[in-house]
């Protein structure tokens, strides 16, 4: 497999994933009308920026962000030993 083919497949999957997330968000808003909860994590290196519409969502995102930070650190340590 050439690198161009792998790049094209990866890029296509990223675009499809973005469209899927957008479509699900629109469907949730249309079905429920009001009371939609949500939030997000922006990872800048190992540091998260967390935002959410309510405390329960933010708590869940903090747990996810902690797991992502731990994964980032473990991968960096492994890369230092392997690479």
pLDDT in tens, 9-46: 889 999 999 999 888 878 877 787 666 678 888 888 77
pLDDT band at 53 (very low <50, low <70, confident <90, very high): confident
pTM over the 0.85 mark: no
pLDDT at 67 over 80: yes
By percentage, how much of the chain surpasses pLDDT 90?
18
Torsion angle in degrees (nearest 10) through CA of 12, 15, 21, 23: -100
Phi-psi region of 12 (alpha: psi -120 to 50; beta: other; left: phi over 0): alpha
* HSE-CB for 76 with a 13 A CA cutoff: 8
- Give residue limits of the domains in the chain: 1-35, 37-83
Average pLDDT over residues 52-66: 90
């Amino acid at each position: 497999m050439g690198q161009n083919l792998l790049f094209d497949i990866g890029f296509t999957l990223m675009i499809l994933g973005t469209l899927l997330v957008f479509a699900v968000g629109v469907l949730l808003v249309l079905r429920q009308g009001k009371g939609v909860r949500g939030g997000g994590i922006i990872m800048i290196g190992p540091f998260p920026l967390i935002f959410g519409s309510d405390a329960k969502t933010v708590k869940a995102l903090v747990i996810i962000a902690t797991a992502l930070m731990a994964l980032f650190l473990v991968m960096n340590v492994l890369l230092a030993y392997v690479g």
